[in-house]
Chain A
Amino acid sequence: MTDIQHKTFLFDATRCIDCRACMVACSVENKIPMNKTRIWVAGVGLKGEFPALERASMVYHCMHCNEPDCLSACPVGAYSKRLDGPVIYDPKKCIGCRYCMNACPFGVPHFDYDKGLIDGAFIDKCSMCTQRIDVGLEPACMATCPTGALMFGERDELLKYAHDRLTAQPARYLNHVYGESENGGTSYLILSHVPFKELGLPELSSTPVRDVSEAVMGVTIPFALGWGAVLTGTAVGVHMVNKKKEADAQKLETSEPQAEEKK
């Protein structure tokens, strides 16, 4: 997976102080309405009992998967994965079906229930600030992070940096870079001092959900056609049986009244 040349974030949970500068910066940069956000704080927060305490939290937004499930699930091609990393949502193509919401293993795409068909964009999610990275700037969240908990750069370089840190400070981190292989690799890599599930991250295999779903989707049409044939056959069979029953019943009907009259 290390050969994927994507712009990538590296989030270091040991350095995040939960100040939310990234969230405010994103809101301003991307003109997010006051009742919406593209970045969340996740994780268990406070752990333990006084005075043996620990904190575990993470800011997260779209993971910009290398093999995006949203893209795979979208029936109208409203998602695309740019070669340099960002997973892009195109509101003009979106029909508001919300398949992407169900498909995303990280729960990122957010549906705007206040909007109707003519309002456009139903879904909101992080764009990796393409308007900034296209002119050589860093994404707004990372650019303002006061503690350097968020980094941004080339995926291979950040992966190397992450592994170097794990080697240099083994006591500080769990020995794993989340997102290196999870779900086929993401463009949001995470270093942590607590188990990743305590940061709210799902345990995912390195096989992208997309591969599984596409394998399933690959047999869908033959399956559907086959199932259709079976159903049609059944329907025809049932129909024929019913026809025969009807014919028999009609025969009975003609004779039954007489039988009743006999009573």
Chain B
Amino acid sequence: MPSTLSRRDFLKISGAAVGALVIGEFLPPWVAQAARSNGVLDASDSGYIPSMCEMCVWRCGLLAKVDAGRVVKLEGNPDHPHSNGKLCPRGQSGLMNTYDPDRVLTPLIRVGKRGQGLFRKASWEEALDLVTQNMLDIKQKYGPEAMLFSSTHNLSQVQFENLLNAYGSPNYGTQRSLCFNAMIVSNLTTYGMEEPNRKYDDLKYIILTGRNLMEAISTSETSALSQAIDRGVKVVTLDPRFTKTAAKSAEWLPIRPGTDLAFHLALINVIITEGLYNRNTVLNQTSGFDQLAAAVTQYTPEWAAPITEIPAETIRRIAHEFAAAAPYALAHNGWRTSNFVNSFQTERAIAILNALAGNWGVAMFPASGEESGVLGAPPQPAYPRVSAQRLDGVPWKYPFVPLKIGVFQELREAALSGTPYQAHGWFIARQNPAMSLPDRGRTLEAFAKMDFITTVDIIMNDTSWFSDVVLPESSYLERYDPLNIVGNKAFLRQPVIEPQGEARSALWIYKELGTRLGLGDFFQYSDEEDYLKQQLAPLGVSLDQVRQKGYVDLPGEGPDFTEPIWNTPSTKIELFSTTLDKGGFAAVPQWEEPLAPAPGQFYLLTGKVAQSTQFASQNNQLLNKYSDEPRLWMNVATAKSLGLSENDLVEVASTAGKIHIKLEATQAIRPDCVYLTPGYGHLSKGLTVAYGLGASDSDLHLTFTDPISGGQALSQTFVTVSKI
């Protein structure tokens, strides 16, 4: 059989990496004591324990199947709206993250040079004392602001933030500027909310701008899109690559990278000049329509055609189709929108297009919000006042970026330049900046400037490899995290098995560290269960009850869909943003010509595959087993013109660096682009499966920051490709 992953290829790929391992062979026999006592298991220690997935940030509900005290399988939890009983390949592989033979199971202290990978095992006592000593030294010598803290979207992040606020550092890095700052800030300026919920139930028309839902899987949303397509909804996908989402779309437009803004401005132009917008919405819910109308008159489809390389008649037709389907039409705002410096205005144009379609309450709804006043929390003293500026320029350089989001790449730049002051220490939890930040060479230089680096992770990730102390966290199947609110329920992550080795939960690690730093008053919970009991206290529900069901219903009704409240200065949907206007930026979207590759150069594109999550899943043997070999995609015709053939080893170079990787000559990409699956090219030899696979996009990416949203422009790097 001809095949994309034939039996022969399959044996070749998997056989190269791993031997004949069977997951069951190394399962520890004992299920979590908590689960034994709460009645979900029968007399033979079998049954299902409800918890939550952590293979990506979508956080599906899961049911862990336990057989005679061993966890043997994960299922999607039908009660959780993010999974609806399903799990994606990453969710299904979750057991393998927990049972990864490369797990770090004791605290480690570096003994060799940084990056040499020589560590010795240490007790928690010794490791925590060492971290504490260094953090106190830095605070005393340089002030608390000299300590950087960074962590990626996770449920214990609230206590991570507690630790950094109690310590007194303003320097907080998240991954979000590498991901969705443009989308968040555009929604804030337009709708006054970070990200509206989307519903596909009644839709007739969807424009996807680089939202590759069939590969960047968010289980319930991927499922909803699939069902919508099945119902006959027309999906138009804009992407320079023929992604698996493009393959399922009615229409694929291989748009020139960086020109999505021009496409959407032309749609807005047609819809306004032909009077196809929702008059009721525009009149009652929006402000600034006249300014918008005046600004877009120049952006005709004929103007956009040569820029986007999409024919004017196609753009005009799509504008007509979208308007005809409205309000049952959605222009998806995307997720990882860190593509070009103009991505913020692209996102603004998309937000405005939705407003013109009048699709609020049909396609878009208020976000349910993860924070809620209905849950309790441990008592919290006031944090020390911070007078130092943030190194990432928020808000003094980036006034529109929320403090909790930040501009991560600028934090790294400041650590390098030492301005406005020099950072000396870096505390990193559940994050891998050595892989995620653009221009890896500069990130490693920034590490070298640190007196002290400590990381919290479950495996020896690439950043841990350069750390002085590695603190082993228990995996998501081994620990509690704070409750997670979705809709009108709060879901629980609970241990399914006892932690392996000396691994401990983030809640425990932050509290222990806080206590040693003399900040014990900020951590008023005796352990993880006590933390959850304090969260549940106002609801009058016991932790045992929540452990059995996996969630608790919250009082009150769901968000009100009919009367939206726009949290903007005008209390309307701002087509003309008064906030942007005051800041001296374009208050209605206007065309910004993006940088383009010089002759002989290519746009370097990155994007997800269904079998990996950012930089954390490549060592998972089950995912590796079913992943395609990471290669550099290049259009067949382009490859031919360069004298390159399939599987040639090529050198890819940008001004930031170069990599070597095998070539995949494919029809599925524009001739002026190349594509690399991110997350490969690991530096840590502690990742025995992932080390040596593929190459890292971060070695090539240049650092560009959008002055409005702080987003990193990940597609604005241009490369040359040559045969080795």
Contact = CB atoms under 8 A, between A and B. Distances in A.
The CB with the most chain A CB atoms within 10 A, among B18, B222, B668, is that of B668
Interface in A1-29: 14-15, 17-21, 23-25, 27-29
A41 B622 contact: no
B596 interface: no
Nearest to A48: B667
Interface string A20-56: 1101110111011111110011111110111101110
Contacts of B24: 31
B20 A20 contact: no
B303 interface: no
Contacts of B636: 50
Contact of B215 (A17, A41, A149): A17
Interface residues of A, number: 48
B223 A15 contact: no
B667 A200 contact: no
What is the interface of chain B mostly: helix, strand, loop, or mixed?
mixed
Interface in A126-145: 140, 143-145
Interface string B86-111: 11110111011000000000000000
B561 to A, nearest CB: 26
A19 B214 contact: yes
Contact of B4 (A34, A43, A48, A148): A43
A46 B21 contact: no
A71 B5 CA distance: 27
Given A31-B22, A35-B15, A143-B75, A50 B88 contact: no
B454 interface: no
Given A140-B73, A146-B86, A148-B227, A35 B22 contact: no
Contacts of A27: 23, 622, 625-626
A20 B92 CA distance: 10
Contacts of B86: 21, 143-146
Interface string B207-227: 000000011010100110011
Contacts of A41: 3-6
Contact of B1 (A33, A107, A140, A143): A107
A147 interface: yes
A185 B87 CA distance: 31
A101 B468 CA distance: 55
A57 interface: yes
A33 B21 CA distance: 5
B395 interface: no
A50 B1 contact: no
Contacts of A28: 23, 72-74, 92-93, 95-96, 622
B623 interface: yes
Contacts of B10: 37, 40
A110 to B, nearest CB: 7
Nearest to B246: A53
Interface residues of B, number: 67
Contacts of A25: 73, 87, 92
Contact of A17 (B92, B95, B610): B610
A261 to B, nearest CB: 71
Interface string A194-222: 00000010000000000000000000000
A127 to B, nearest CB: 15
B81 interface: no
Contacts of A260: none
Given A20-B89, A40-B6, A107-B1, A144 B670 contact: no
A34 to B, nearest CB: 4
B19 A43 contact: no
A114 interface: yes
Contacts of A32: 22
Interface string B63-97: 00000000011111000000001111101110110
Given A20-B626, A24-B93, A43-B2, A110 B85 contact: no
Contact of B11 (A35, A42, A200): A35
Nearest to A200: B1
Interface string B618-629: 000111011000
A50 B637 contact: yes
B242 A29 contact: no
Nearest to A60: B1
Given A55-B247, A200-B1, A146 B88 contact: yes
A17 B226 contact: yes
A123 to B, nearest CB: 14
The CB with the most chain A CB atoms within 10 A, among B4, B73, B244, is that of B4
A144 B87 contact: yes
B696 to A, nearest CB: 23
A247 B19 CA distance: 68
Interface in A65-113: 107, 110
Contact of B3 (A17, A33, A55, A200): A200
Contacts of B217: 19, 146
Nearest to A41: B5
Contacts of A110: 7
Contacts of A29: 72-73
A28 B622 CA distance: 9
A54 B226 CA distance: 17
A14 to B, nearest CB: 8
A146 to B, nearest CB: 5
A148 B92 contact: no
A53 B222 contact: no
Contacts of A43: 1-4
A18 B89 CA distance: 10
A202 B18 CA distance: 33
10 contacts: A14-B248, A35-B14, A37-B10, A37-B14, A50-B242, A50-B254, A144-B87, A144-B91, A146-B88, A146-B226
Closest 8 CB pairs of A and B: A200-B1, A147-B226, A19-B610, A45-B4, A55-B247, A24-B92, A41-B5, A17-B214
